[in-house]
Amino acid sequence: MAPGPTRCTAAGRGLALKPRAAAHAVICMREAARPTPDPRPVRSPSPIQTSQQQAEAMNCEHNPTTATVTTPITADLVRGALELEQTAHGVLPHRLPARARAQSTDGQLAMAEAQPSGVRLVFRTRATTVELDALPTKRVYAGAPPRPDGVYDLVVDGRLAGQASVAGGNTMTIDMTAGTAETRPGTPGTARWSGLPGAEKDVEIWLPHNESAELLALRTDAPVEPVPGTGRRVWLHHGSSISQGSNAANPTATWPALAAALGGVELVNLGLGGSALLDPFTARALRDTPADLISVKIGINLVNADLMRLRALTSSVHGFLDTVREGHPTTPLLVVSPIHCPIHEDVPGPSAPDPASFATGQLRFRATGDPAEAASGKLTLKVVREELARIVEQRAAQDENLHHLDGPDLYGEADFAELPLPDGLHPDAATHRRIGERFAGLAFSANGPFADRSS
């Protein structure tokens, strides 16, 4: 029997997919038609900035290794995960604890929380070569174009210095028509970077935001050691696939990662594709995770899953916030409403793939609800925004550290005209950058709810 999970202090077999509604039976297809990302390093804001010379000096080819120092992957090297599960092969980072995972039979949630968005290995070393052996699980969607491999970002002293992917791995074939998934076992692969400067440096390996990976071995050509605490504040964020990073080009380019870099904070990203559903076990995970700043982005999954009515939304939001406050009674807590999404502004869910898009090779979604049903309590994005604003205003009278951010201030109607959502639901790489920059400007500014008032 494999050992039990390890709590992180830093921040084929068949699987039945039990759809909550049409939208959630298909929501994990959101990246099936995502174009292959540009292999060149993506410039990110300080402190994660691209160094073109470093990137060009490195490679991820499988050359004969000089990396002979093997370091166990333990919790003191991992940030951004809530738990490490010991597996038959290595360790699997989780973004929800075992107790929460045991309370859900939802295959979509299980897949999303094991995709390590925001999770990174962090260590100090003089190594010039770094290798990470991993066993990824890659998704294949029946009838959809192949997906590109997940990207691993190498960050050296705060600069994005190289990228790699891991070949091979398990393959999960998802049949959305039948609502099933079959996993075929595969072989591990290696992400490799060489040509690093030989001076002592802090290295981060950001794991793919959209592909789960069991971590087998970390090898270098010099010893590594954990990086002492930076003293930076920890930002704990929860949201949907948009927060997880759907359609972002690479893991340091999701909007929360970009905002965290600009805000100078340590990110713990609990963005869960298709699964920001006000689940009590998610609220308890937020409650029990140490954090200096907390944000919850609520709405799009409630609408596109057609999960609940207005009556249930009100009590569910209150209950979710009550639970978070049990563990964080005075922590700055920011409630963020949905960004602009034309298909669901006035039309309830569920959402579903648009069959007309299949022939184009670009998956698109459409709303299938009836606008007239909003009058009887069905949720639209406009309804959700109004209710969230009302709830926060009501609670803030007794909670001075509770704040509200309107989603269209991050991405609104004018932004959609300039940078439309390619599939009708999810932002592309350029829009992730815009949202991240806007969030940082609104939340981390001197007058924002996350302003650093320690000095």
Domain ranges across the chain: 67-228, 231-450
* C-alpha span between 16 and 177 (Å, rounded): 12
The residue-averaged pLDDT of 15-36 equals 36
Query: Phi and psi at residue 280, in whole multiples of 5°?
Result: -60, -35
**Which helix (H) or strand (E) covers residue 421, if one does?**
none
Instruction: List the structure tokens of 209.
Output: 């935001």
Residues 209 and 116 sit within 8 Å (Cβ to Cβ) = yes
Residue 173 near residue 181, CB atoms below 8 Å:
yes
Averaged pLDDT for residues 317-324: 98
pLDDT of the residue at 360? 74
Place of tokens 């390093």: 41
Per DSSP, the residues of 132-183 read EEEEEEEEEETTSPPPPPP-EEEEETTEEEEEE-----EEEEEETTTTEEEE
Residue of 47 and 220 predicted with greater confidence = 220
How much is the pTM?
A: 0.87
Lowest-pLDDT choice from 183-187, 299-303, 369-373:
183-187
The answer to whether the CB of 89 falls within 8 A of the CB of 12 is: no
pLDDT computed for residue 64 by the predictor: 53
Query: What's the CA gap between 338 and 336, in Å, rounded?
Result: 7
pLDDT digits (tens, 9 = 90+) for 176-199: 667 788 889 999 999 999 999 999
Give, as one character, the DSSP assignment of residue 378. Answer: B
pLDDT of residue 181: 82
What percent of the chain is predicted at pLDDT more than 70?
Answer: 84
Instruction: Give the separation between CA 70 and CA 40, rounded to whole angstroms.
Output: 29
Check: CB of residue 20 under 8 Å from CB of residue 352. Answer: no
pLDDT at position 34, please? Answer: 37
- pLDDT per residue as tens digits for the range 392-415: 999 999 999 999 999 999 999 999
For the domain with range 67-228, which CATH number is right: 3.10.20.30, 2.40.30.10, 2.60.120.260, 3.40.47.10? 2.60.120.260
- The predicted pLDDT at position 337 comes to 98
The size of the chain, in residues, is: 455
For residue 359, pLDDT over 90 is answered with no
Structural tokens at position 30: 């959101």
| Angle ∠(47,50,56) on CA atoms, nearest 5 | 145
How confident is the model at residue 430, as a pLDDT?
A: 98
Per-residue model confidence (pLDDT) at position 141: 78
Give the separation between CA 322 and CA 319, rounded to whole angstroms: 5
Q: Which phi-psi region, left, alpha or beta, contains residue 338 (left: φ > 0; alpha: ψ -120 to 50)?
A: beta
* Alpha-carbon span 225 to 215, nearest angstrom: 17
Q: For domain 231-450, which CATH number applies: 1.10.1040.10, 3.20.20.120, 3.40.50.1110, 3.30.1050.10?
A: 3.40.50.1110
